[in-house]
Structure 1
């Protein structure tokens, strides 16, 4: 283990001690529900459905696409980065979840997917982001509060998810710019050919 890895683990260990932010007692049922319903990205399907029903179909499509791309990327990264989970099996906070994941801790796939969905929503529809962003942050926090991830796993997951959404937005802008250029060329070409 390198010196940087040791320092990172020490920072994570210090931040996981009992505190007002991360107590060891059983979390509130809402926090547990956020963690459980977000497994496999399932939470974001009904959220996208609600956005679509509210007349925000483009927002729902972009956000769900970002989440669908981000989730396997998070799993791929976890196959490369092997990191142990926090040792918290006996804590009431940890016992609140029925799941006992033994996959690599980095990154938090919950956080990756939540950040991708939330960031994509914010980029397309700031009005909808007012409701989606707190939910995305709650999901990310739930993984810390239930002690299944280190803080850097969650922060890394949030960063990866946000980057996926930003990349998607950049690709979308490039595609729209190309489509606009083709449409303009189709309009202008006959004008010049008529006067040649």
Structure 2
């Protein structure tokens, strides 16, 4: 099976992430929140690290139930910082709660985060011509625009590079390599 060249074939989590999630248009608000948080956590780290710690994060943050995360106390967040199974970065842990609060405001204003997010691409995935994954940009004008808007709304750790990765992961931008069997399957 032909997959994108960035897939680490020695890690089943990587393969499953690529085959079952990455680039697939996502419209579920809870899953969109989880994916956004994972991209925030990745700043300065490898994606493999994030995938390996994903389950621990899900357990720590109530399976990314946005309302519950938004109501977490400082004490709750301090407990998470003690968990060696997650990335124990105070800024990223606290950002999860702040981002949940901002996420709820967007849901209230737009009816759903999905409606807010997909409006940036006129509700149609952008399909790029990618011969080699190293040709894909790290950020674009779109990711810069969305990152600015998210920051204005109170989001943390959502710079244009993290946001572009998020757009790719959530299927708003299809950057599967042209030779990848998943390029046109969504």
With normalisation by structure 1, the TM-score equals 0.30
Structure possessing the higher relative contact order (Cα contacts under 8 Å, 6 or more residues apart): 2
With normalisation by structure 2, the TM-score equals 0.31
* Higher-helix-fraction structure: 1
